[in-house]
Structure 1
Amino acid sequence: MVEITGYGVAVIAFLAVSLIVGTLTYKLVQKSGRRLIVAGKSLPLFMVGTMLVAQSVDGNSSLGAIALIYQYGFWAGAVIPIGLGVCLLMTGAFYGKKLNKMSMFTLPDYYFRRYGNASEGISGILMIISFVVLVAGNFAASGFILQTVLGIPFLLGIIIAALVVLTYTIAGGLFASAYTDIFQIYLAIGSFWAAFLFFAGGFSGVPFDTILASAPPGYLDLSGLFDTANGALINWAGILALGLGDIVALDFMERVFAAKDSKTVRRGAFMGAGLTFFTVLPVGMLGIVAFHFLPGLEDPYVALPELALNHMPFAIGAAILMGVLGASMSTANGGLLAISSVISRNILQRVIRRRLLGKESWSDSKLLTITRLCVIPVMVAALTLGYFMPQPGIYLILAFDIVFAGALAPLTLGLFWKKANMPAAVVSLIVGTLLRLLMFFIVPPEWAGLDTMIPPVISFTLFIIVALATQKKWPGKERHDVNDYVPPEEDLISGEDLKHFRANAHGSV
Structure 2
Amino acid sequence: MEIDPSLKWLLAVSMILYLVVMYVIGFVAQRRVHDAEDFLVAGRSLPLSLAWLTLLATWFGAGTMLTAADEVREGGLEQAALDPFGAGACLLIAGLFVAGPMWRMRLLTVPDFFRRKFGPSAELLSSIILVPSYFGWIAAQFTALAEIMNLFFGIPVVFGLLLVALVGTGYTMMGGMWSVTLTDAVQMTLVLVGLLVLVAVVFAELGQGSVVAGLSRLTSETDPQMLTVVPTDTAANLIGWIGVFAIGALGNLPGQDLMQRVFAAKSERTAKYACLLAGVMYLVFGMLPLLIALAGNLLFPADMEAQIVPAMAHAFLHPAVAVVFLIALLSAILSTIDSAILSPASVLAQNVFPRMGWSDTLRSNRVAVLLVAFFSLGLAYSGESAYALLEEAYLLTMVGLFIPLFAGLYSTPRNPQAANAAMLVGTGLWAVHFFLGWEEFLPAVPGFQSWQLPLSIGATVSAAIAYFCVGYLTAGDQIAQD
* Fold-level similarity (TM above 0.5): yes
Q: Secondary structure at the match of 1:246?
A: coil
Verify the 8 A CA contact 1:241 1:452 in the aligned structure 2.
yes
Asked whether 1:218 is paired with 2:225, we answer yes
Residue 317 (str. 1) matches residue 319 (str. 2):
no
Do the aligned partners of 1:195 and 1:316 also contact (CA within 8 Å) in 2? Answer: no
Deviation at 1:79, TM superposition (A): 3.9
Q: Which residue pairs with 1:377 in the alignment?
A: 371
Q: 1:93: how far off?
A: 0.9
> What are the residue-to-residue correspondences of 1:390-401 with 2, within 5 Å?
391-401=385-395
Q: Which runs of 5+ in 2 are unaligned?
A: 444-448
Q: Displacement, 1:7?
A: 3.2
Determine if contact 2:81/2:245 at 8 Å carries over to the other structure: no
Partner amino acid, structure 1, of 2:153: L
Alignment pair present for 1:13 and 2:26: no
Change (3 A) 1:475 1:218: farther
Would you say the 8 A contact 1:290–1:303 is kept in 2?
Answer: yes
Distance in 2, Cα, partners of 1:476 & 1:68: 55
Question: Match for 2:258 among 252, 275, 280?
Answer: 252
Give the residue type in structure 2 aligned to 1:454: G
> If the length of structure 2 is used for normalisation, what is the TM-score?
0.89
Secondary structure (helix, strand or coil) at the match of 1:468 reads helix
2:206–2:295 contact (8 Å) kept in structure 1: no
Instruction: Return the TM-score normalized by structure 1.
Output: 0.84
Change (3 A) 1:217 1:204: closer
Q: Matches of residues 343-354 of structure 1 in structure 2 within 5 Å?
A: 343-350=348-355, 352-353=356-357
What's 2:432 paired with? Answer: 438
Question: C-alpha displacement at 1:5, in angstroms?
Answer: 3.4
CA distance in 2, matches of 1:397, 1:253: 19
Shift of 1:241: 0.8
Conserved? CA contact 2:206–2:299, under 8 Å: no
Report deviation, 1:73: 1.5
Deviation string 1:221-248 (CA, Å, 9 cap, x unpaired) is: 34x5323599544432222111111101
What whole-Å deviation, never above 9, does each CA across 1:414-464 have from its counterpart, x for those lacking one? Answer: 111014321110000000111223345343699776112211112112212
Residue 102 of structure 1 pairs with residue 105 of structure 2: yes
Match among 472, 476, 487 for residue 476 of structure 2: 472
What letter is aligned with 1:244?
L
- Partner of 1:27 in structure 2? 31
Contact 1:421 1:475 (8 Å CA) reproduced: no
Aligned residue among 40, 45, 48 for 1:45: 48
Match of 1:307 in 2: 312
Q: How does 1:404-423 map to 2 (within 5 A)?
A: 404-423=398-417
Alpha-carbon distance between aligned partners in 2 of 1:345 and 1:457, rounded to the nearest angstrom: 30
2:87 and 2:53 mapped to 1: Cα distance?
Answer: 14
The Cα RMSD (Å) is 2.7
> Is the counterpart of residue 67 in structure 1 residue 73 in structure 2?
no
- State the partner residue of 1:119: 122
* CA shift digits 1:286-319 (9 cap, x unpaired): 121233344555645x222222112333355333
- After alignment, is 314-323 or 266-275 more displaced? 314-323
Once residues 98 and 476 of structure 1 are traced to their aligned partners in structure 2, the CA distance between those partners, rounded to angstroms, is: 29
Deviation (angstroms), 1:389: 2.1
Query: Distance between the aligned counterparts of 1:466 and 1:336, measured in 2?
Result: 35
Cα distance, 1:216 vs structure 2: 5.2
Once the two structures are overlaid, the 10-residue window that deviates more, 435-444 or 17-26, is: 435-444
Instruction: Give the match for residue 54 of structure 1.
Output: 57
1:122 and 1:102 mapped to 2: Cα distance? 20
2:199 to 191, 196, 201: 196
Number of residues of Structure 1 aligned to a counterpart in Structure 2: 464
Following superposition, the deviation at residue 174 of structure 1 comes to: 0.5
Pair 178,247 (structure 1): closer, same or farther in 2 beyond 3 Å: same
Alignment of 1:234-273 (within 5 A): 234-273=240-279
1:142 paired to 2:145: yes
Shift of 1:397: 2.2
Alpha-carbon separation, structure 2, partners of 1:448 and 1:8: 49
1:278 aligns with 2:284: yes
Identical amino acids, percent of aligned pairs: 24
Q: Paired residue for 2:297, among 291, 314, 317?
A: 291
Identify if the C-alpha distance between structure 1 residues 58 and 99 changes in structure 2 by more than 3 Å, giving closer, same or farther.
Answer: same
Moved more, 208-217 or 97-106: 208-217
Aligned equivalents of 1:177, 1:294: Cα separation in 2? 37
Other structure's SS at 1:225 match: coil
Deviation at 1:75, TM superposition (A): 2.0
Structure 1 residue identity aligned to 2:180: S
Q: In 1, Cα distance between the equivalents of 2:64 and 2:291?
A: 13
**Helix, strand or coil at the partner of 1:93:** helix
Distance in 2 (alpha carbons) for counterparts of 1:234 and 1:5: 46
Amino acid at match of 1:80: D
Report the counterpart of residue 338 of structure 2 in structure 1. 333
Determine the structure 1 residue equivalent to 2:163. Answer: 160
Which whole-Å deviations, capped at 9, do the CAs of 1:389-424 have from their partners, x for residues lacking one?
253343222211001112111110011101432111
The DSSP-based 3-state class of the residue aligned with 1:43 is coil
Task: Please give the secondary structure, in 2, of the residue aligned with 1:420.
Answer: coil
The verdict on how the C-alpha distance between 1:179 and 1:449 changes in structure 2, with shifts beyond 3 A counting, is: farther
SS of residue in 1 equivalent to 2:107: coil
Per-residue CA deviation, residues 305-355 of structure 1 (Å, 9 max, x unaligned), is 2221123333553333222221211121112111112112211213x43xx
Amino acid at match of 2:247: A
Q: What secondary structure sits across from 1:275 in the alignment?
A: helix
Which SS does the other structure have where 1:172 is aligned?
helix
